[in-house]
Chain A
Amino acid sequence: MSERQMSGAEMVLAALADNGVDTIFGYPGGAVLPIYDAMFQQNRIRHVLVRQEGGAVHAAEGYARSTGRVGAVLVTSGPGATNAVTGLLDAQMDSIPLVCITGQVPTHLIGNDAFQEADTTGITRPCTKHNYLVKDIEKLAETLHEAFHVARNGRPGPVLIDLPKDVQFATGTYRGPEAFEFSYRPPNEPDEAAIAEAVALMAKAERPLFYTGGGVVNSGPEAATALTELVRLTGIPCTSTLMGLGAFPASDPQFLGMLGMHGTYEANLATHGCDLLICVGARFDDRVTGKVSAFSPGSTKIHIDIDASSINKNVRIDLPVVGDAGLALKAMLKLWKDARHGSRAEPLKPWWKQIDTWRAVDCLAYEKGDPVIKPQYALERLREALKGRDDVYITTEVGQHQMWAAQFLPFEKPNHWMTSGGLGTMGYGLPAAVGVQMAHPEATVIDVAGEASILMNIQEMSTAVQYRLPVKIFILNNKWMGMVRQWQELLHGGRYSESYTAALPDFVKLAEAFGGRGLRATTVDELDGAIRDMLETPGPVILDVAVDETEMCFPMIPGGAAHNEIMLRRQDQHETDPAAREEGMVLV
């Protein structure tokens, strides 16, 4: 690769292109004008103008999560950077690779409280995987390439480059990524002996269970393929975290559904009762474990994770395997085949019999309403309407609707489900859908939303209209912050403090005001027609579905409780120990 002289602004665009970026999400401002000027004079990078910088980061997350590539963001200094902070932390928590470029005031003004100055690297240090302030034009090319290297290698995450305006104007030498060697080399290859030990444990366990997470999705489609093959070959049941949905096909009889706070009865009781827990690319977070001291008490635990710091963080692990989930799964598959272990369907029969009795509880059952639409029913009808469509991407906001979406929608393939898992960011779903649809213009992209969450980034509807992105916003409108209401009912004596939204907009008119289409369904009769209309409309649509205002999301493991204390319905709350409820109340 030859060296070229160019401005810092041009280097940014050259480095983006050289790292495979074709789309960048951003918002201009004083401190990034040179980059926007350079952008105007090229056509390799397509820019998507969002309506608020937070939207840019979530859009880049949606883009990254649905393509497996690094998402790119460009925002200005000061408020541009601070608006991006939530998205950066969201990406950090959910291990989404991003490169975010922020403008900064000129080098000589840094520290002077200049107009739109913020200590961006200081503010974002704990919410990025790594960040840089580049003051020297001769270091810019290397830093840009290193940012991509760091974002995508090891446990992926967001990387930020803060770029003072004078460095954007300065001229320096540009070299391509192949000209540099980077010292950041996290371990990738799992230890062979550990893999062999894991396979040996799997071959003799009586009640084994796979517990898989977002790491399988992050590792790439091959990891999901290897997981699917391994689970089917061994005959071992499989559950998944919220972030891992789609890595193993949900329609497979060996899939027990999601585990954790709003996971299925069978998944949680299997986790509680297994004798071998094989965790692949998940991190035993508190939404999964519930009460840590009572989590899966009788099991030997294998933990495969690319991030050594995830191992033994919350739960004591018997067999740690540090490495890429895909490489580990492939190695396990090979070893399993070489050892001719074959299917364990026969010895696992009693275990499956037990699981089937848990399944028979039918934990996702709900009372059908008429004419009132139950939110679960709305999602079941959506699922029905989506049958036969091949390329369906679902994003969500955060709350009850998110959990119902995880419970009721089908997840057959990895990278088709975008949700804010770790940070739980309301307002994630619409901009994420914008990012997904930019990457997959022909696909069906649906943001399953609540009426409260959607208002947090509703301005991105304008982006969807501008770029003719036919995203479908499916609002389960119960007029309440449903999950807040649910906790207030269960833990705060039904004192519904500030969780009711008294002055909601007319979402149909709102959609129309943005230049999209608005639809409404208020009764069971109207639902199917409205869903059909939504899916058949070529442009962006908001479908406002009026649902039962007081429905609660079950199953639920209350905060501080163990998996076997799972609640299946409202009445179950009275059976829990009051002391445990006190303890659980302080948890979030």
Chain B
Amino acid sequence: MTDSDKIERHTLAVLVVNEPGVLARVIGLFSGRGYNIESLTVAEVERDTGLSRITLVTSGTQMIIAQIKAQLERLVPIRRVRDLTEEGPFVGRELALVKVIGQENTKRGDVLRIAEGFGARIIDSSESSFVFEVTESTERVDQFLAMMAGHGRLEVARTGIVALSRGPDSI
């Protein structure tokens, strides 16, 4: 297998005009052409200019990733596409809300110790459950969930990552 056949995961930042149907356009492009979406987040980031920012995690060979970027850039309401993975170091975070529901063998102390270790905040608690809020890289969130899994039944809501490049450069 050569480098060019290797499947890579890339995080893309996409600025779009916040108009009806723009998200459908992006998602339709991915489903229509058979590209992967591992996660996608979107929200308006510039109210006065009406721009939204999509953070998109996708995977594919180098050729596919280049295709995805070129196909995105071709969409009329898309202003900018940046490949954060390619363009240098970036920070990515996702927020997870994790409900840990106590089972017979659950020890509250163990659960709280793990939460502390990950900097997770308790945002709800009852006699037999906690809801934690953890904001971390995807890998750290995965670790958090793996560790909690041994201490209760979990219900999880995750945002998918949002990301910015490191340093003073902006999109």
Q: Which residues of A contact B (CB under 8 A)?
A: 121-122, 125-126, 129-131, 133, 150, 154-155, 183-184, 186, 307-309, 311-313, 316
The complex places the Cα of A309 from the Cα of B28 at a distance, in Å, of 16
Which one of B40-48, B62-70, B138-146, B152-160 contacts A? B62-70
The residue among A184, A186, A309, A311 with the most chain B CB atoms within 10 A of its own CB is A309
Contact of A309 among B17, B24, B32, B70 (CB under 8 A): B70
Contact of A125 among B24, B63, B70, B79 (CB under 8 A): B24
When A125-B25, A150-B76, A307-B74 are in contact, do A312 and B32 touch as well, CB less than 8 Å? no
The complex places the Cα of A121 from the Cα of B21 at a distance, in Å, of 8
B71 at the interface (CB under 8 A from A): yes
- List chain B residues, Cβ under 8 A from A125: 21, 24-25, 28
- List chain A residues, Cβ under 8 A from B63: 312, 316
- List chain B residues, Cβ under 8 A from A131: 21
B167 at the interface (CB under 8 A from A): no
Interface pair A126/B67, CB less than 8 Å apart = no
B20 at the interface (CB under 8 A from A): yes
The complex places the Cα of A369 from the Cα of B76 at a distance, in Å, of 54
B43 to chain A, nearest CB (A): 21
The complex places the Cα of A30 from the Cα of B20 at a distance, in Å, of 25
Residue of A nearest to B21 (CB): A121
B116 to chain A, nearest CB (A): 48
Closest 10 CB pairs of A and B: A309-B70, A130-B76, A308-B70, A309-B71, A184-B76, A126-B32, A309-B74, A126-B28, A125-B28, A150-B76
- List chain A residues, Cβ under 8 A from B66: 312
Q: Which residues of B contact A (CB under 8 A)?
A: 17, 20-21, 24-25, 28, 32, 63, 66-67, 70-71, 73-77, 79
Interface pair A133/B70, CB less than 8 Å apart = no
B69 to chain A, nearest CB (A): 9
- List chain A residues, Cβ under 8 A from B21: 121-122, 125, 131, 133
Residue of A nearest to B24 (CB): A125
A313 to chain B, nearest CB (A): 6
Interface pair B70/A311, CB less than 8 Å apart = yes
The complex places the Cα of A130 from the Cα of B71 at a distance, in Å, of 13
A262 to chain B, nearest CB (A): 27
B contact patch SS: helix
Q: Please give 16 more A-B residue pairs, beta carbons under 8 A apart, in addition to A125-B28, A133-B20.
A: A121-B21, A122-B21, A122-B24, A125-B21, A126-B28, A130-B76, A130-B77, A154-B74, A155-B74, A184-B76, A308-B73, A309-B67, A309-B71, A311-B70, A312-B66, A312-B67
- List chain A residues, Cβ under 8 A from B32: 126
Residue of A nearest to B72 (CB): A309
- List chain A residues, Cβ under 8 A from B24: 122, 125
The complex places the Cα of A185 from the Cα of B41 at a distance, in Å, of 26
- List chain B residues, Cβ under 8 A from A183: 17, 79
- List chain B residues, Cβ under 8 A from A311: 70
Residue of A nearest to B74 (CB): A309
Residue of B nearest to A122 (CB): B24
Interface pair B76/A313, CB less than 8 Å apart = no
- List chain A residues, Cβ under 8 A from B20: 133
Residue of B nearest to A159 (CB): B76
- List chain B residues, Cβ under 8 A from A184: 76
The complex places the Cα of A178 from the Cα of B41 at a distance, in Å, of 37
The complex places the Cα of A150 from the Cα of B17 at a distance, in Å, of 15
- List chain B residues, Cβ under 8 A from A126: 28, 32
The residue among B17, B25, B74, B77 with the most chain A CB atoms within 10 A of its own CB is B74
B66 to chain A, nearest CB (A): 6
B22 to chain A, nearest CB (A): 10
The complex places the Cα of A150 from the Cα of B75 at a distance, in Å, of 11
- List chain A residues, Cβ under 8 A from B70: 307-309, 311
A557 to chain B, nearest CB (A): 24
| 24 examples of A-B residue contacts, CB within 8 angstroms | A122-B21, A122-B24, A125-B21, A125-B24, A125-B28, A126-B28, A126-B32, A129-B76, A130-B75, A130-B77, A131-B21, A133-B20, A133-B21, A154-B74, A155-B74, A183-B79, A184-B76, A307-B70, A308-B73, A309-B70, A309-B71, A312-B66, A312-B67, A313-B67
The complex places the Cα of A309 from the Cα of B70 at a distance, in Å, of 5
B37 to chain A, nearest CB (A): 16
The residue among B25, B70, B76 with the most chain A CB atoms within 10 A of its own CB is B76
The complex places the Cα of A125 from the Cα of B17 at a distance, in Å, of 16
- List chain A residues, Cβ under 8 A from B75: 130
The complex places the Cα of A133 from the Cα of B66 at a distance, in Å, of 31
B35 to chain A, nearest CB (A): 12
Residue of B nearest to A129 (CB): B76
The residue among A131, A154, A312 with the most chain B CB atoms within 10 A of its own CB is A312
Residue of B nearest to A130 (CB): B76
- List chain A residues, Cβ under 8 A from B71: 309
The residue among B17, B32, B63 with the most chain A CB atoms within 10 A of its own CB is B63
- List chain B residues, Cβ under 8 A from A186: 74
- List chain A residues, Cβ under 8 A from B74: 154-155, 186, 307-309
The complex places the Cα of A131 from the Cα of B74 at a distance, in Å, of 14
A319 to chain B, nearest CB (A): 15
The complex places the Cα of A122 from the Cα of B24 at a distance, in Å, of 8
- List chain A residues, Cβ under 8 A from B73: 308-309
- List chain A residues, Cβ under 8 A from B76: 129-130, 150, 184
Residue of B nearest to A316 (CB): B63
